Structures are given as structure tokens and as C-alpha cells.
Amino acid sequence: MSGLIGKKIGMTSIFDENGKNVPCTVIEVGPCVVTQVRTEEVDGYNAIQLGFDDKADKNATKAAQGHFKKAGTAVKRKVVEFQGFDEELNLGDLVTVEHFVEGEFVDVVGTSKGKGFQGVVKRHNFGGVGQATHGQHNRLRAPGSIGAASYPARVFKGMRMAGQMGGDTVKVQNLKVLKVVSDKNLLVVKGCVPGHKNAYVTVVK
């Protein structure tokens, strides 16, 4: 699956040819630099490592500086490996947003917004205990019973309970590319993608 690294700019909406208002996400995609070429002989598999978004040398280790110097580029903040590029890519080559075309469908991978420690109503859409009758005063958002009986005398693994919510790797599949703005390296896709504004995402086709 070939793809590029990008940064989520935010959401907006555009009108399609039928006059319908379509919600969409704007992603700044590339330009990405080829920072390493993995080969079957050396690494045991074929892949292309891409780097995106410059950072200062002083914020990188000497090893990282040497790695990017080989490719003749500045130190990058985000590095991801991709497989399945049709064209032959060499160290130091640039891959731009023009890798995508309008009308095709892409998958976007990102890290969802972290919500902290949340209860079962917010985290798993529980309905709560129900009506506040018969003397209930503090059970509205409680999880209720979680056990079984003397058999199996334990709580099953995977039981939906309160806990850390968000901060997960999420892939949203089959988002339509509505626009490719080459001069500004922007990709406009239909629908929403995971992550906060300025979060790094991976766009795969």
C-alpha cells in the first residue's frame, strides 16, 4: 500500500456538483522525502521510508542527523515506511500530493483524541441505570452489575468498564478525495479523520 505522511489542518465543507453541502477534512500532505530504501537483499523486505516536516538539528540525536544527511535532507519529525509504490524511488527523492488523484478512495490512519479516564456512559454508550425512582440518587451513570454468579465466579476478560479513552490508532477507510491542491500541498477528503488539528496522519491508497 503506497501512501504519504500528512498533517490534519481541520474540517470545512464544500458544495458538490449537485449543490449538496459535503463535510470534508483538509490535510497537508507532503512533500515527503525518501529517507531510506529497504531492499530484499539487505533488509529482507522491500519498502520505502518517507520523512515529513522538518525539525532543528539540535533536537535530534547524532544518529538521526547522520541518517537524514545520507538522504541529503533536513532532520524530519515523522518517519513512516510504505510498500507498493509503482514508480522507482531513490534516496532523496520527493513525493508530493500529486501522488493522489481526485475521485479515488484513500484510507487515513491517525491517533484519536485522548479523552482521559472516562465512565461507561461516555466510553461505551451505556444507558445508565435508568429512571431516578425508588430512592435512587447517585446511580444514573453507574455501570450496574458486572459479575455472573458463583459460576464462573469471576469477571470475564474484555468487560466494558470505565477506563482510559482515546489515544488509540484509528484507521478510517474509503474516504473519497474531493480535491488535490498541488501548489499548497493540500488534500481534501470527504468525511472526518482521527486526531486533533496539526496531528500527523498517514494517507494510504
Reported confidence tier of residue 129, pLDDT bands at 50, 70, 90:
confident
DSSP 157: T
As a three-state string, the secondary structure of 21-51 is EEEEEEEEECCEEEEEEECHHHHCCCEEEEE
The reported pLDDT for the residue numbered 202 is 96
Cβ atoms of 85 and 37 within 8 Å: the answer is no
Domain span at residue 40 reads: 3-204
Length of the chain: 205
Cα–Cα dist 60/51, whole Å = 14
pLDDT tens, residue by residue, 10-68: 999 999 889 999 999 999 998 999 999 999 999 999 999 999 999 999 999 999 999 99
Q: What is the CATH number of the domain that holds 39?
A: 2.40.30.10
Strands 47-54, 94-95: parallel, antiparallel or unpaired by DSSP?
unpaired
Cis (ω within 30 of 0) for the bond into 23? Answer: no
pTM for this prediction? 0.86
Report the pLDDT value the prediction gives residue 166, as an integer from 0 to 100: 96
Helix (H) or strand (E) holding 64: helix 62-70
Q: Are 93 and 175 in contact (CB under 8 A)?
A: no
Task: Read off the pLDDT of residues 133-144 as tens digits, 9 standing for 90 and up.
Answer: 777 788 888 898
Question: Number of folded domains in the chain?
Answer: 1
